[in-house]
Amino acid sequence: MSYAYLFKYIIIGDTGVGKSCLLLQFTDKRFQPVHDLTIGVEFGARMITIDGKQIKLQIWDTAGQESFRSITRSYYRGAAGALLVYDITRRDTFNHLTTWLEDARQHSNSNMVIMLIGNKSDLEARREVKKEEGEAFAREHGLIFMETSAKTAANVEEAFINTAKEIYQKIQDGVFDINNEANGIKIGPQHSPASQSLNVGGSGGNQGGNCC
């Protein structure tokens, strides 16, 4: 599973807006109605293809609880993209967007691509936040906006992939310095047979140690 680039995403937003469900839908294509409370951060990964290039998305699904805020802030660093999620059925989640956005902007690099996601679009009846509001907020803060449904998988793929496309475009435009891992972008590992066989030889542990 070699890849050209690795993008680090973070998913942020109030607790219970469906961050982990979005990740699960994106990585496993399944929906889990009852989800454990996320402790700290959870991880998901998936390969996508953009412009004929394999890109691995490493997604950090952060805990939305306020108590974890201090911890999750430390994970913002080095993210290339952020999914800022609110629940369209809960106005307060939308109202907290500004705080989250400030947090994200403060603790990550300025070029980070932020996608505003109004989740639970399947629950139209319980909608509290109009789509236009979301659009307006996104426009105001220079975000990409989408309404998704982790349950129905509506726009879930698009949300992740469009973000990746935006990041990729920024790479092409030279906005991102791909050699600086603080930008949340890693160049894919060399996967020549020689190196592979070497790794098979058991140097993986050392490699892993280096990663730390």
Annotated binding residues for GTP, written as ranges, equal 13-21, 61-65, 119-122, 149-151
- When asked if residue 154 is in the footprint of another protein (CB under 8 A), the reply is no
- Considering beta carbons, is residue 98 or 206 the nearer one to another protein? 206
Q: Which stretch binds another protein (CB under 8 A): 15-23, 67-75, 94-102, 133-141?
A: 67-75
Q: What is the DSSP letter of 148?
A: -
- When asked if residue 194 is in the footprint of another protein (CB under 8 A), the reply is no
Q: Residue 174 contacts by C-beta under 8 Å, 6 or more apart in sequence?
A: none
Q: 3-state DSSP call for residue 79?
A: coil
Provide the terminal-to-terminal Cα distance of the chain, rounded to the nearest Å. 21
- Rounded distance between C-alpha atoms, residue 178 and residue 3, angstroms: 14
Q: How far is the CB of 41 from another protein (least distance, A)?
A: 5
116-140: burial string, b at 16+ Cβ within 10 Å, e else: bbbbbbbeeeebebeeebbbebbee
* Beta strands in 63-112, from DSSP E residues, in sequence order: 81-87
Q: How far is the CB of 197 from another protein (least distance, A)?
A: 7
- When asked if residue 180 is in the footprint of another protein (CB under 8 A), the reply is no
- Considering beta carbons, is residue 32 or 98 the nearer one to another protein? 32
Binding site for another protein (CB under 8 A): 1-2, 39-41, 43-45, 58, 60, 67-68, 70-71, 74-75, 77-78, 191, 193, 196-197, 199-202, 204-209, 211-212
